[in-house]
Amino acid sequence: MPAADDEEFLSYTKRIADATRHGLMEWTRANPTTFIWVQRADNKETARITLQQVVRSEITRDPGGRPRAVPVRRFVFQVIAPPNSNPILAKTIPETDAAGLILMSLFDNIIDTLARRDLRNALDFLRTVIPTPPPNTK
């Protein structure tokens, strides 16, 4: 990808991260390492973005020259323009790349947001099913 395209992609990752942080993009969990954002208009899907974290071990050498497995995070970022199911953009980005750092922050933010939502839903559910004891009438 030419440098200008890289900069434009970086700009879009920042916008996605900001929109997510401000609650303008709501993500759903496809599986423990993949999140999906879907835009809809007139009950039709008009855009889809997927973000997946992939952690793999890479073999490096320690200062003594011995092999050592080091976990490396990468992010798979895809953009789909329905009705097509094939991505119009698919990139695998290492966490050390500028866009990777933004996607890592976005990924972690999505996890935190969904965890808070799930906790709120669980607490709301408990409120409806746990009986309330009668007031103490002494």
pLDDT tier for residue 3 given thresholds of 50, 70 and 90: confident
For all residues of the chain together, what is the average pLDDT? Answer: 92
Burial class (CB in 10 A: 0-12, 13-18, 19+), 77: buried
Is the confidence at residue 78, as pLDDT, over 70?
Answer: yes
pLDDT of residue 69: 92
Euclidean distance between CA atoms 126 and 129, whole angstroms: 5
Residues 6+ apart with CB under 8 A from 21: 109
**88's tokens:** 């119009």
Q: What is the pLDDT of residue 138?
A: 65
